[in-house]
Copies of this chain bind each other. A is one copy, B any other.
Amino acid sequence: MRFDRFFVMQPDDAIAYAKERGFFPADAELESEEIGDGNINYVFRVRDRRSGRSLIIKQGGETARISDAFRITPDRVRIEYEMLKRYNELAPGLAPEVYAYDEVMRAFAMEDLSHLSIMRRALMEHRKLPHFVEHITTFLVQTLFYTTDVAMDPKVKKALVRRFINPDLCEITEDLVYTEPFTDAKRRNDPYPPNREWIERMIYGDDELRREVAKLKWQFMSEAQALIHGDLHTGSIFVDERETKVIDPEFAFFGPIGYDVGNVVANLMFAWANAGATMEDEAARLDYLHWLEQAIAGVVDRFRAKFLAAWHQDARDPLARGIGVAEDYVDRVIVDSAGVTGLELARRIIGLAHVKDITSISDPEKRLKAERTLLRAAKVFILDRYRHLDGSAFVATLKTAHREEEKAERRR
């Protein structure tokens, strides 16, 4: 037993591990490479040269891979594994299969999704994903509605709340999404230099914005509404034209549903800004922007429709079937989603964790304009979130921000 005590594996260890755990026959000719590109975990692809069969082993240490100084609970690996198992039950086909969790090695094995692309990359290649809206809204409703108090036995839910309390990873979100972009509290924000002064004036200088962000923050920190993914951006989704697979739920905990919905929506908006700034052929650009706008509106509207359908079919609370109860509930979730859309747009531009959709825009003037458009929209999503009740309102805010930025540009 080489794996009865924790150590950080190398690719050869992953081969030995995969054999010892019986994932491959003893005589398989295995090859392994470490393909992790995040800052925290190790990801090994192990492949049998003869059969071509492969799987992924994901391992997390007590410190981040980038620095031993950055301690982060290994419990996140257990949370990720348990979440992926739940996804396989609640939303079959929309997450990788998982095979086994190993508490000692802080590792688990799962399906290899190498035939798919990370969604952010696919969108930056301006690919259309004809099934994405249906897949992701099914995923959202199946994983979220069914873990609310409306649908779940309240005692089972409370046991799950306890099981998924996730202080370390919540702290990251509380700091990087809900605090620093609006206060620069730890002086770690990293705005694009030509936009720095504009951001100081338009964002740090807005007391009302910060007051609304505070309300959203208290909600994130205290509302155990459903078992959310907690980091559902387009870098946590594998896609191709037929499939959609959600990965990386290590931030999972009981939080507001709108956090997941808003992250999906905001990241589609990054793709929209990227396409607007980088696609040279006008007809192709307009066509792709239109597809993205339909996807944004579709996520909101199909989520709402499926959420209500699930409610009317499976709500178990005695109050849930009253007139307007479901509609009030989902309206509030969509308003929350608008607030989170604004937070995610702002933090990816202002804060320390950027997105490639924006940083890869090489023309400085176009990048500046893309950032300001999204930040103008972010403010509206946060301040006027209560009037964002359907998909068309989300798209309208984005397009209005774009027109306003064009006007401002002409005045410069």
Task: Mark A residues whose CB is within 8 Å of B.
Answer: 148-150, 154-155, 158-159, 161-162, 165-168, 170-171, 174, 178-179, 182-183, 185, 207, 210-211, 213-215, 217-218, 221-225, 254, 317-320, 322-325, 328-329
Give complex CA distance A376, B127 in Å.
60
Can you report 22 residue pairs joining A to B where beta carbons are below 8 Å apart? A148-B222, A149-B217, A149-B218, A150-B218, A155-B167, A155-B168, A155-B171, A158-B165, A159-B165, A159-B167, A178-B319, A182-B319, A183-B318, A207-B322, A207-B323, A210-B322, A210-B325, A211-B324, A214-B320, A215-B328, A217-B319, A224-B224
- Within the complex, which residue of B148, B165, B207, B218 is in contact with A329, where a contact is CB–CB below 8 Å? B218
B213–A319 CB distance below 8 A: yes
The residues of B that contact A254 with a CB separation of less than 8 Å are 222
Other than A149-B217, A159-B165, give 6 A-B pairs with Cβ distance below 8 A.
Answer: A154-B170, A155-B167, A159-B167, A215-B328, A217-B319, A222-B224
What residue of chain B has the Cβ atom nearest to residue A183's Cβ? B318
Min distance, Cβ A180 to any Cβ of chain B, angstroms: 8
Closest B residue to A224 by beta carbon equals B222
Q: For A162, list chain B residues within 8 Å (CB).
A: 162, 165
Contact status A167-B158, CB under 8 Å: yes
Inter-chain contact B319/A183, CB cutoff 8 Å: yes
Shortest CB-to-CB span from A181 to chain B, Å, is 11
Query: Which residues in B have their C-beta under 8 angstroms from that of A318?
Result: 179, 183, 185
Tell me, rounded to whole Å, the shortest Cβ–Cβ distance linking A383 to chain B.
13
Known: A183-B318, A224-B224. A328 touches B167 (CB 8 A): no
Q: Which of A149, A155, A213, A221 has the most CB of B within 10 A?
A: A221
CB distance from A97 to the nearest CB of B (A): 30
Query: Which residue of B has the minimal Cβ distance to A182?
Result: B319
Residues of chain B within 8 A of A154, CB atoms compared: 167, 170-171, 174, 221
A318, B224: Cα distance in complex, Å = 22
- Nearest 5 Cβ contacts at the A-B interface: A149-B221, A155-B167, A214-B319, A185-B318, A158-B167
Task: Contacts A318-B183, A324-B211 given; indicate if A161 touches B155 (C-beta within 8 A).
Answer: no
Contacts known (A183-B319, A319-B179); A325 close to B158, Cβ less than 8 A: no
- Are A214 and B167 touching (Cβ within 8 A)? no
Chain B residues near A211 (CB, 8 Å)? 322-325, 328
Residues of chain B with a CB closer than 8 A to A224's CB: 222-224
Cα–Cα, bound, A25→B395 (Å): 77
Q: Give the docked Cα–Cα distance between A223 and B211 (Å).
A: 20
> CA of A221 to CA of B158 in the docked complex: distance in angstroms?
9
> A155 to chain B: closest CB distance in Å?
4
